[in-house]
Structure 1
Amino acid sequence: MRSAVVMLRSIWYILVVTCLFNFGEASDLYEETLVLKPPNDDQLYAVFNFSTVSEDLKSLKNHHYSLFPRVIGELIRKYGIAEFHLSMTQGLWRYERWGHPYYPAPPGAQLWVWFQPEIESVEASWKGFTNALSGLLCASLNFIGKTETVTPTLSFRPQGAIQDASSSLLRYAVLSRETLCTENLTPWLKMLPCGSNSGISSLLNPAALHHSQYLSLGLNYKQKCFEKNCDNPAIQLHQSVSTMFDLRKSTSEKPGFSVSTILNKKIKGPCPLAHRSDIRLSVPEVQWNINFDGDEKTTPILVVHCHLAGIGQQEGGVRCRLSNSAARNISVLVMQTVPWFLQVYLHTLQITDQDGKILLPKRVTFRPAKIRQSPHFLEYMLNISPSSTIKIALQFNRGFLTWTEHPPDANHGFYIGSTVVSVREKDIEIMGSDNVHHIYSEALQVFVPVPDFSMPYNVICLACTVLAIAFGSLHNLTTRRYQAFDSDEPKAESFVNKLMSFLKKLIGLVKRDKLIEPGNKDS
């Protein structure tokens, strides 16, 4: 008994010392912020920011995790990730009505990753990482393959501290058809230190979020340097939820709004693990009402729109329009990706201004597609004059796909990813820095020639019918046993006939006995 007590006491001391050591070594910081910005009287732009910073990268290499999610740390170590940015978006951002967003994203799912230079194979790590993220977030990112992947040259530069920024270590892909649903939000919330149990994250109501006009889920990882030499960089995982609510549907009072009414939830209390929790409105209460005067709308400086052109199922084209409302020149970088089954020709690229004058792009990078291996990639720089609009035209021919390459709903068509326009933030007056801001166009739905999918069914039915008739006759001829039949031989009575004759005889005997009984009495 005494030895057991001593052993339990020793184990208790070891646990206490281990916990104190881990607590002293833990240097993770968790911050959460809610930004509310009304672009006009009818909409409310709500941005939820959650940032987890680990100041000791070596602790993750030693499999020690405090607030930083372990599942992300394991993926980073296994696949040699230096930086990745994932967004899943439902809806289209309306630049003319809402201005520029804090975290721009195209419709569907977008993923771009920077890999470490010491990994053996970038393609193998890219495939493994997309499959792992697909299982982690219950998304269809595993459909990202070679035909959806490109390597941008200048468009997506590192946002964190990366030793080697060679474009060969970068991979970019977009799935415009990917939808965002509640099963993606649930594992995303589990990465937060407090989950959805307390703090600002407790306001996230899936039903209210999916009833909004725009919803975007972000997951971003990068390295940060707090020292000049950057010997031991810190790592940051930034999670964001951007949504646009229609106040006319969410509230009954106008003007004004109530956060608890819009989201149908209240804050359950502060997150005890959060180093900082901010709501970008200086109001201590959970609910508040704010009145907005005037009808002022935010007008963006740079806007891009794209649409399809062409008639029929053979030829087509992509038409884009870039508008600059500023009183100065703006230099932009345009990136376009086109699927491999649309035959694009570089000589058809035509850029004109609003007066019809042809403009020449700079630093053009064009990689033609390889059939069933990689898409078309086009990247070039443009200079947009003050208060002007330029038009971009690119023609293509529709190719033919085998019937096995069409999706189950083939008549729905395919998608061309959003055109990406990269510009410095200070040029569009978002912030005074040289950071790059991305502006996305609409995703284009394109139709290709569809085969007659009823034909295989008809062929199968016809073949089965012919085979049944031919095989059935042949089978009967080879397996049926024939016997000679003699017509003079009396036919054998069946069981039913024998039974009927027996019953008739039995009835006749009964009637005869009844007729004989009176005669016996007289005698």
Structure 2
Amino acid sequence: MMSATPPSMQLWPLLAIFASFVRAQDRETFYEQLWIEPFQDGKLLAQFEFLTVLKDVPRRPDTLSIEDSCKFSIEKYSVTELHLSLNAGKWNYKTWGVPLVPSVASGAELWAWMGHTHNETTEAIDARWHGLTNALAGLFCASLGSMDARRTITPEVAFRPEGDLPRGASNAHSPLLSLTSPIDYPHSLRYAAMPSENVCTENLTPFVKLLPCKAHAGIASLLNPHRLFDADWHGMSITVRWLENTGIELRLGFGAIMDPVRLSEDSMHWSFQSLFGRGLHKSCLIASKSKVLVGMGPTSEGSALLPYGHKLLKMSDTRSLAVYDVSHSECPYSSPVFLMASPVPGSRQRRVPVVAFASDPRSTGPVSPQLPITVRRVLTGAEQTHGGLLLSITNEGNTEFTTAWLETMPWFIQFFLHTLELRVDGQKRDDLLSRLTFIPPRDDLRRASMLEAILSVPPHSTLQVTVSFRKAFILYTEHPPDAHRGWDLPAAVITPLCAEADSKTMELTHRYGLGLVDTCGTRLYTSTLLVDLATPDFSMPYNVIIMTSTVVALFFGSIFNLLTRKFVIVRVGNPRSVYRTTIALMKSEQLRVAYLGPQGTYSHQAAAAAFKNAPATFLSCKTISHTFEAVCEDRVEFSCIPLENSLHGSVIETLDLLRVDRPLERAVSITSEFTIGIEHCLIACRGVRIEEITRVLSHEQALGQCHDFLSTHLPNVAQVRTASTASAAEHLLELSEKGDSLARCSAAICSRICVDMHKELELVQNGIQDGESKETTHRLARLWLTSTSVNFTRFIILSKIPLPAQIRLPTLQRALLRCILPPVNKSNVSNPTVTLSSIIRSIPSDIQVLRVDRRPSLCKTPFHDCAFLEVVCQPPLSAGDHGPDTISQLWRDKVATGAKDVNSQVHGGDLPCCRILGAW
């Protein structure tokens, strides 16, 4: 007689995985969230979470909007609840606390609750489990099909259902469902682990395809496999469950422990760009909620948060949570927004953040409360036939701790149960074992063994559990590749139990929304173990295979390179610098960019904005000259220095550096430019009023740009020049820390961000630069700039090599020429500019002169000037069929031809007076 199919075999949540987020109109809701949490050791947790909820799901699967193939998978395997995790690395419970997702064991882990009828045999359930593992293996490109009877067990205490197991309902069409009252249909648990399974890009690709916006928009766009799989620990999880009052819930998660110090070369500053190699440019319109959560510890000196979160949640007295709502269509987080304030131990960097978030990782706690127990598991014995297992559980709490211990062993590890001993402080304590379930292995069927026990650990003591086992001999065909390495044993599962828990509270609970974990029922995993078996000598055939493969690979690779490689001539400035930069780009390492420091200057802001699309680390320099020399000496690949200001004119120090001729190995050129709006602020120590100010500190350019304000409001103050605007703010901070009386009568002119960086300083007056303050839009350097001021500064980018393609700065078709002018003498005393005029007339007609600057030359002859001519292509070269790189090369060739014409017409070619400083 044909058996009836229970409702649990008709609905279950495996549909959500295979349906690939097919939209279910009003019944389906999608949420996405990124949690960033700093740890005590300076590392960061980046936990991605994507949640889909199918509300009010009917009990007939044919009414759901899913594909036919998905319906077939659902009905065939009858999965009620499913949990799959793929992890790499070892989770540090002591430093990182309890994880947001409990399943953090190395390798692959799969457990599922499957509904069945009362008369269905265990063999039939195992057959459906085998089909489920193969289906998941094909979907996620993993070796899950190997989770057969050799690795599968059915625990009794661990892995309780996290959702609701459905109840049956009356059904007149089925003999088994014809009762008038609801029927509870049984469910079976299957659990398997593969510690040797690796997680890589081929697993992430199908994972991303399940998301509605893929990796094109929303938080999922930050899933960069190059950065995620380079983390200290990373793992992905898939959870499907049914909640009676909610519906079917599909939760996709990806977590990674990032090391900002390693990613940014000895700097604790971190950002979306440095962590994930990309920014958050646009939101996923399908998501109902899209949030970024940033955990914050106590506010430390020199910390700042820019931009500020849309909401600040107070988690405890020492911990808060900044919430960013990125569900709108235009996200402002494409540029770096989060930076750490604390330096690396031994580093010379100051505790000063820039443009972004700063938090002291040493003052933040773990993601969730730490458990009072510590678990350690090791193998004992050195023989190849026998060994022992030692489990050590330390209870640091004040009360007795009850926990479930689960061991899953392959068939060749055979426990001797009579050797099981429990000891506390060297004393035998068998009374601490309240329940023991042992299923021995079966050599004929190669089935795994299971050992599950309920243990009690006294307070402030260490419980040691030991058991001996025998290593069985296996066939030579059963050995894995690299057999001499040994076998990986799955991690032991420790499940803390509540003292007065009922059937509901015994289930594992996890509040993902705020990252809080209920310690009662949370699973802990020990490290995996490596066991050594008696192994035949496989070395000879392996050595032959490896040697033959190596010879074939070397021969084929050499011949293939000779047949396919194309040799071209490349113009280089300094070969060593070009080589190092090329290798850095090939390895996706961060470029080094120098700027006029310290952190917080306009130069730093311009450099960060210009290189926002490329992995870069920034070097602070004290002066413009030091910034210039950094790129000349190959300490950095690029330098960003100011060229001119719209109010105060050209930067004299920059022009003086550009007029010097340098040897080939130190020669640099202008590769691009970047323009930003300038808004100066007057800041002082807290409590200082504007009437008390007698000294104003800032850079020469900033003092000149605020001349009107100083003349009107502070006419009698002393103006003190500093190396930069940010250094003026630091000088105020040093005066305040020393208790100097000058701190009460001094102020500084700098950017607004310096106030957020230094909590001891406060804003006195904002927008003090000259010019009318109103909303204006300017088209400078072919870039539309919107600002509340008419004050702008142009910055040039110096380098020995071209800009990388990922920086994507536009080709402006501009160039800067340096021309040496003769001194004024009797022949040209009536017209001192005759030589300059002749140079301008010699320039081709399709190149227009925009501006001219003059500086004394460095020769011994008096009044021997050096002129700087900035030119632009007129009319601009049209893109047409050419790409940006072709347009850049055409413009550089046109400038080179024009300079050659000038030299030949003015001096007959004997004395080149015109030199190209850069064409961009």
TM exceeding 0.5: yes
Whole-angstrom distance in 2 between the partners of 1:24 and 1:221: 17
Q: CA RMSD, aligned part only?
A: 2.9
Contact in 2 for aligned 1:76/1:82 (Cα 8 Å): no
2:381 is equivalent to residue 310 of structure 1 = yes
By percentage of residues, which structure has more helix?
Answer: 1
* Structure-to-structure mapping, 1:313-462, within 5 angstroms: 313-360=384-431, 361-371=433-443, 372-424=445-497, 431=516, 433=518, 436-453=521-538
Q: What is residue 82 of structure 1 aligned with on the other side? A: 80
* Structure-to-structure mapping, 1:99-118, within 5 angstroms: 99-104=97-102, 105-118=104-117
Q: What is residue 702 of structure 2 aligned with on the other side? A: none
* Structure-to-structure mapping, 1:7-156, within 5 angstroms: 26-40=26-40, 42-58=42-58, 61-62=61-62, 64-65=64-65, 75-104=73-102, 105-118=104-117, 120=120, 121-156=124-159
Whole-angstrom distance in 1 between the partners of 2:414 and 2:69: 41
Letter in 1 for 2:524: I
User: SS of the residue aligned with 2:133?
Assistant: helix
Contact in 2 for aligned 1:147/1:339 (Cα 8 Å): yes
Contact in 2 for aligned 1:425/1:437 (Cα 8 Å): no
Whole-angstrom distance in 1 between the partners of 2:256 and 2:132: 27
Whole-angstrom distance in 2 between the partners of 1:246 and 1:353: 39
Q: What is residue 241 of structure 1 aligned with on the other side? A: 254
Q: What is residue 229 of structure 2 aligned with on the other side? A: 210
**Shift in Å, 1:255:** 4.1
Whole-angstrom distance in 2 between the partners of 1:268 and 1:410: 48
Give the unaligned 5+ runs of structure 1.
1-21, 227-232, 458-523
Aligned residue pair count: 428
Q: What is residue 514 of structure 1 aligned with on the other side? A: none
User: SS of the residue aligned with 2:139?
Assistant: helix
User: SS of the residue aligned with 2:58?
Assistant: helix
Alpha carbons of 1:29 and 1:293: their partners in 2 closer, same or farther (altered >3 Å)?
closer
**Shift in Å, 1:238:** 0.5
1:265 to 259, 278, 288: 278
Letter in 2 for 1:249: R
Q: What is residue 163 of structure 2 aligned with on the other side? A: 160
The percent of aligned pairs where both chains have the same amino acid is 30
* Structure-to-structure mapping, 1:270-309, within 5 angstroms: 270-281=283-294, 282=309, 284=324, 285-286=332-333, 287-289=337-339, 290-292=358-360, 294=362, 298=366, 300-309=371-380
Whole-angstrom distance in 2 between the partners of 1:36 and 1:425: 30
**Shift in Å, 1:358:** 2.2
Contact in 1 for aligned 2:115/2:186 (Cα 8 Å): no
Contact in 2 for aligned 1:152/1:167 (Cα 8 Å): no
Whole-angstrom distance in 1 between the partners of 2:257 and 2:236: 12
Q: What is residue 196 of structure 1 aligned with on the other side? A: 215
Alpha-carbon displacement from aligned partner over 1:304-337 (angstroms, at most 9, x marks no partner): 1211110121110111111222222221111111
Whole-angstrom distance in 2 between the partners of 1:422 and 1:396: 24
User: SS of the residue aligned with 1:261?
Assistant: helix
Whole-angstrom distance in 2 between the partners of 1:405 and 1:24: 47
Alpha carbons of 1:71 and 1:325: their partners in 2 closer, same or farther (altered >3 Å)?
farther
User: SS of the residue aligned with 1:127?
Assistant: helix
Whole-angstrom distance in 1 between the partners of 2:479 and 2:251: 37
Letter in 2 for 1:103: V
User: SS of the residue aligned with 2:375?
Assistant: strand
Letter in 1 for 2:436: V
Whole-angstrom distance in 2 between the partners of 1:453 and 1:253: 44
Contact in 1 for aligned 2:110/2:192 (Cα 8 Å): yes
Whole-angstrom distance in 2 between the partners of 1:412 and 1:456: 16
Q: What is residue 732 of structure 2 aligned with on the other side? A: none
**Shift in Å, 1:25:** 5.3
Q: What is residue 866 of structure 2 aligned with on the other side? A: none
**Shift in Å, 1:300:** 4.4
Whole-angstrom distance in 2 between the partners of 1:91 and 1:271: 31
Whole-angstrom distance in 1 between the partners of 2:83 and 2:144: 13
User: SS of the residue aligned with 1:106?
Assistant: coil
Whole-angstrom distance in 2 between the partners of 1:431 and 1:293: 19
Whole-angstrom distance in 2 between the partners of 1:242 and 1:377: 30
User: SS of the residue aligned with 1:133?
Assistant: helix
Letter in 2 for 1:450: T
TM-score by length of 2: 0.44
Whole-angstrom distance in 1 between the partners of 2:126 and 2:242: 22
Contact in 1 for aligned 2:421/2:428 (Cα 8 Å): no
Letter in 1 for 2:149: K
Contact in 2 for aligned 1:215/1:243 (Cα 8 Å): yes
Alpha carbons of 1:80 and 1:445: their partners in 2 closer, same or farther (altered >3 Å)?
same
User: SS of the residue aligned with 2:478?
Assistant: coil
**Shift in Å, 1:434:** 7.8
Whole-angstrom distance in 2 between the partners of 1:184 and 1:456: 32
Whole-angstrom distance in 2 between the partners of 1:236 and 1:186: 22
Alpha-carbon displacement from aligned partner over 1:70-122 (angstroms, at most 9, x marks no partner): 97665333310000100000001011221111112211000001001249521
User: SS of the residue aligned with 1:58?
Assistant: coil
Letter in 2 for 1:276: K
**Shift in Å, 1:132:** 0.5
From the CA coordinates, give the structure whose radius of gyration is larger. 1
Whole-angstrom distance in 2 between the partners of 1:44 and 1:71: 40
2:190 to 143, 166, 171: 171
Whole-angstrom distance in 2 between the partners of 1:421 and 1:443: 13
Q: What is residue 468 of structure 1 aligned with on the other side? A: none
Alpha carbons of 1:342 and 1:198: their partners in 2 closer, same or farther (altered >3 Å)?
same
Alpha carbons of 1:50 and 1:411: their partners in 2 closer, same or farther (altered >3 Å)?
same
User: SS of the residue aligned with 2:463?
Assistant: strand
* Larger RCO of the pair (alpha carbons < 8 Å, separation 6+): 1
Contact in 2 for aligned 1:256/1:292 (Cα 8 Å): no
Alpha carbons of 1:402 and 1:252: their partners in 2 closer, same or farther (altered >3 Å)?
closer
Alpha carbons of 1:237 and 1:183: their partners in 2 closer, same or farther (altered >3 Å)?
same
Give the unaligned 5+ runs of structure 2.
1-21, 168-183, 295-308, 311-323, 325-331, 340-357, 502-508, 543-920
